[in-house]
Amino acid sequence: MLRFLRRRLLISIPTIIGVTIVVFITIKIIPGSPVAELAGLNSTAAQRAALTQRLGLNSPLPVQYFDWIWSTVRGNFGTSITQQTAVRPLVFSALSNTLILAGAGAVVAFVGGGFLGLWGGLRHRKTDGKVATGISALFVAAPQYTVALVLLVVFTVNNTLFPSGGMYNATGGGGLPTLLDHLVLPAIAVGLAPMGVIARIFRSSLIDVMNQEFVTSLRARGLSRRTVLRHAVHNTLPSLFTVAGLQIGFLLGGALFVEILFTWPGLGQLVYQSVTARDYPTIEACSLVLAIAFVLLNVVIDTGHALVDPRVRR
């Protein structure tokens, strides 16, 4: 197992390097100049030239890239143009908030998807099973930002059941209960579409497994329905881990859009503010940290896949 994990981590290194190149090139082709933002509108040409030299922007692009990578490896993400403070604490604070939202969305997706998939798979010939399948298809088709807007209108504008945004109350305090209260609507908005995908994959896998010969053999031995179902569900786990890895990116990407609508102080909100303000160091750091988090989460999913399916380790 350690050999598999080591190999998977080594494979992730070229992916991360490729991500750094894409992020660097993207920042360079964005219209605008960080020098103009830092120096201000009233700066002279000499001041802008001195700042360009101090930031190393007059160096060739390969030199700028390796300087940026070297600074990033040492934990120096630069200084925010808009907030004039170190980027690293800003990014990691926002990342923790994004992971909270994505984790809550994952709970919604896997619990709800597992329930709908089990219901639709075991009763696929019944009317209620077809209803479950239809619900999962509806969730797949619903864009996350549309779901977020509907939830805001229904549960905060028309009925003040949940807060409209933020992580805590404006007055501060409240602790975990307040956080959970603010988390309900964003988590549902993030997790609804992945829930539909997971439900449909789980339903199809369960129907396929239940029709296999080993299930017939287990029933012929007189095993209880619960025991047979446990064996069947265990054989659907590899496909669930596969779809889980695909949905991680969807959860993180969806969380970024939902954060803006719910003013959730995560990476999405920080990237949106940084893009509008041309805060290039913060944009670079957010993009890179988010990509690395996505790669590492996929490594975790692949490791779990290997644990339940020994064939993957070979």
Three-state SS across the chain? Answer: CHHHHHHHHHHHHHHHHHHHHHHHHHHHHCCCCHHHHHHCCCCCHHHHHHHHHHHCCCCCHHHHHHHHHHHHHCCCCCECCCCCCEHHHHHHHHHHHHHHHHHHHHHHHHHHHHHHHHHHHHCCCCHHHHHHHHHHHHHHHCCHHHHHHHHHHHHHHHCCCCCCCCCCCCCCCCHHHHHHHHHHHHHHHHHHHHHHHHHHHHHHHHHHHHCCHHHHHHHHCCCCHHHHHHHHHHHHHHHHHHHHHHHHHHHHHHHHHHHHHCCCCCHHHHHHHHHHHCCHHHHHHHHHHHHHHHHHHHHHHHHHHHHHCHHHHC
Read off the pLDDT of residues 149-158 as tens digits, 9 standing for 90 and up: 888 888 888 8
pLDDT in tens, 75-129: 888 778 777 788 888 888 888 888 888 888 888 988 898 888 888 888 888 888 8
Whether residue 171 is predicted with pLDDT greater than 80 in this model: the reply is no
pLDDT of residue 133: 86
CA–CA dist 308, 234 (Å, integer): 8
Write down the pLDDT at residue 313.
61
The residue whose two tokens read 């403070």 is: 85
Q: How do residues 187-244 score in pLDDT, each as one tens digit?
A: 998 888 888 888 888 888 888 888 888 887 888 888 888 888 888 887 787 777 777 7
pTM, to two decimals: 0.81
What is the per-residue pLDDT for 204?
87
Of 305 and 21, the structure prediction assigns the larger pLDDT to: 21
Kindly report the average pLDDT of the chain as a whole number: 81
Count of CB atoms within 10 A of residue 208's CB? Answer: 14
% residues pLDDT > 70 (the chain) = 91
pLDDT of amino acid 113: 87
pLDDT digits (tens, 9 = 90+) for 269-278: 888 888 877 7
Closest CA to 296 of 253, 259, 249, 233: 249
pLDDT confidence band for 48 (50 / 70 / 90): confident
Residue 155 class from Cβ within 10 Å (0-12 exposed, 13-18 middle, 19+ buried)? middle
**Contact (CB, 8 A) for 189 and 286:** no
**Does pLDDT of 66 surpass 80?**
yes
What per-residue confidence (pLDDT) applies to 38? Answer: 67
pLDDT of residue 147: 86
For the stretch 1-40, pLDDT in tens is 677 777 777 888 888 888 888 888 887 777 766 676 666 6
